[in-house]
Amino acid sequence: MSNKTKPIIVLVLASIFGGLAPGFARFAIEQFTPFSIMILTSLISLIVLLILSGGLKNLYVKKKDLLFLILAMIFWAANSFFFFHGLEGVDRTTAVATSTLYLFSPMIVLIISVIMKRLKFTLGKIIGVVIGILGGLTILSQSFADTAQVMVRSIGAFRGNILILSGVLAISFYWLISDELTKRRNYSALLVTVYSNLGILLLALPFFIKETSNKGFNFFPLDSKAVIGILGISLVGGVLTNYLYQWGIKNSSAFAGASVLYISPLSTAVFAFLFLGEELSAVLILSAILIAIGVLFTTVLPALKKE
In angstroms, the Cα distances linking 32 to 15, 157, 224 are 26, 20, 12
Q: Give pLDDT, residue 23.
A: 93
Distance in angstroms (rounded) separating the CA atoms of residues 112 and 94: 27
Whole-number pLDDT of residue 119: 67
Say which residues have a Cβ less than 8 Å from residue 42's Cβ, sequence separation at least 6.
80, 197, 198, 200, 201, 204
DSSP code of 89? S
Distances (CA, A) of 236 to 13, 71, 240, 256, 304: 11, 25, 5, 21, 29
| Alpha carbon distances (Å) from 45 to 95, 239, 242 | 22, 6, 11
Q: State the pLDDT at residue 242.
A: 77
Per-residue pLDDT of the chain (307 residues; tens, 9 = 90+): 556 678 778 888 888 898 999 999 999 998 899 999 999 999 999 999 888 877 767 788 999 999 999 999 999 999 999 999 999 877 788 898 898 888 888 788 878 877 877 767 778 878 888 888 888 888 878 777 765 555 556 788 889 999 999 999 998 899 888 878 877 788 888 888 889 999 999 999 999 999 888 876 666 677 889 999 999 999 998 788 877 876 776 676 555 565 566 778 888 888 988 888 887 778 888 888 888 888 778 766 776 666 5
Cα 72 from chain centroid (whole Å)? 14
Q: Whose CA is closest to 173, among 109, 86, 81?
A: 109
Distance CA 203, CA 77 (A): 7
Backbone angles phi, psi at 294, to 5 degrees: -60, -45
Q: Which of 264, 232, 253, 265 is nearest to 300 (CA)?
A: 253
Domain segments of the chain as ranges = 5-306
Report residue 277: phi and psi, to 5°. 70, 20
CA distances (Å), origin 25, targets 45, 134, 230, 236: 15, 27, 7, 12
CB 233 within 8 Å of CB 35: no
The pLDDT assigned to 38 comes to 95
Is residue 149 within 8 Å of 170, Cβ to Cβ?
no
